[in-house]
A and B are shown apart, each in its own frame.
Chain A
Amino acid sequence: MRRHLITAVLVLAVVALFAAPLLIDPGSEFAGTDSQATELIEESDPGYEPWFSSVFSPGSAEVESGLFALQAALGGAVLGYVLGRLRGRRGAERTTAPSSAPPPAEP
């Protein structure tokens, strides 16, 4: 019970941490720091010319956010698969071997 409570508190803390800025400052654009840094360079070092451009740029914000979502989905899928496997394995160990003997070591 206590374990579940701690989990819930941690999840709520993460949600609150990232929801708070949206509530505090709803008018803000929340521009990315990466692009802010690029703007800062253009301001403070106006003579600097980027000498290479991206080999491929997503054509629009929709395509870009789609690709970001794809990246997150791939990561989330793998992470979920691993946690599911580990949990399933533990369940299987519990039912087949109550003594939970470790697997024999490789010679």
Chain B
Amino acid sequence: MHIAEGMLPAPHALGWTLAAAPFVVHGARQVVKEVREHPESTLLLGAAGAFTFVLSAIKLPSVTGSSSHPTGTGLGAVLFRPPVMALLGTVVLLFQALLLAHGGLTTLGANAFSMAVVGPWAGYAAYRLTRRLGGGLLPAVFAAMAVSDLATYGTTALQLAWAHPDAESGFVGAAVKFLGVFAVTQVPLAIGEGFLGVLLFRVLTVNARPELERLGVLTPEPVPDAEPQR
């Protein structure tokens, strides 16, 4: 989903930067607030950032014969709500733009908007919806991870189609073309990302129960948890 450096016309680059900036600033303030009020959250915040860092570094092969990388932003969105991921996701994108020539500074706004804003919010919405419909924590986490991944790439396709509409078929034609590149490749990756999120949450529900209860992800149990047999 990294739009390469210079591949968006200047007005688009500026527009997306202005669109993403308030989310990132708000996210930064949320991170500071969270750490100040709940220093014990720092560990899990680190985990959320690290998860995105790892996953977005790994390009995985897909059945379409091309490769792509997951985003990993659903985890932090579920744990700390989406604004926090606006900052963490943008930090990852900045690292890749500066050191890896992957993405870019002029396209940072557009990439941050898709990966750090739309992805986490869509994932969080999927999480809440699954829980509302009576789904358990792990199915909801799976939905959050997969949907945030797909929504990120869908957004990128639409951003590119808007900036580079097809000569004949216009925006819609270009959107279909860019979605053709991104969307199908991304489906197995989104499923894999969902499984990874479930694996991680299974560890967290055992080892970070107090934090998850405070964050509202798990409901506190009325009776103190009996020692589970191993």
Contacts and interface: CB of A to CB of B under 8 A. Distances in A.
A31 B208 CA distance: 39
B46 A7 contact: no
Contact of A40 (B50, B57, B181): B181
The binding surface of chain A is classed by DSSP as helix
B109 to A, nearest CB: 13
B6 A50 contact: yes
Contacts of B208: 86
Given A90-B206, A99-B224, A74 B63 contact: no
B60 to A, nearest CB: 5
B173 to A, nearest CB: 9
Contacts of B62: 21, 30
Contacts of A96: none
Q: Which of B62, B166, B198, B203 has the most CB of A within 10 A?
A: B62
Interface string B1-42: 111111101100000000000000000000000000000000
B154 to A, nearest CB: 13
Nearest to A45: B164
Nearest to A23: B61
Q: Which of B67, B167, B225 has the most CB of A within 10 A?
A: B67
Contact of B67 (A33, A83, A103): A33
A76 B54 contact: yes
B146 to A, nearest CB: 12
Interface residues of B, number: 74
A82 B177 contact: no
A29 B104 CA distance: 24
B164 A71 contact: no
B100 A17 contact: no
B102 A86 contact: no
B7 A50 contact: yes
A20 B174 CA distance: 30
13 contacts: A30-B59, A31-B67, A37-B4, A45-B164, A52-B105, A53-B6, A55-B98, A68-B57, A71-B53, A72-B53, A72-B54, A75-B55, A83-B203
Interface of B: 1-7, 9-10, 43-44, 46-47, 49-68, 95-102, 104-106, 153, 156, 160, 164, 166-167, 174, 177-178, 181-182, 185-186, 188, 191-192, 195-196, 198-199, 202-204, 206-208, 210, 224-225, 227
Closest 7 CB pairs of A and B: A75-B53, A50-B6, A75-B54, A78-B50, A28-B65, A52-B6, A71-B57
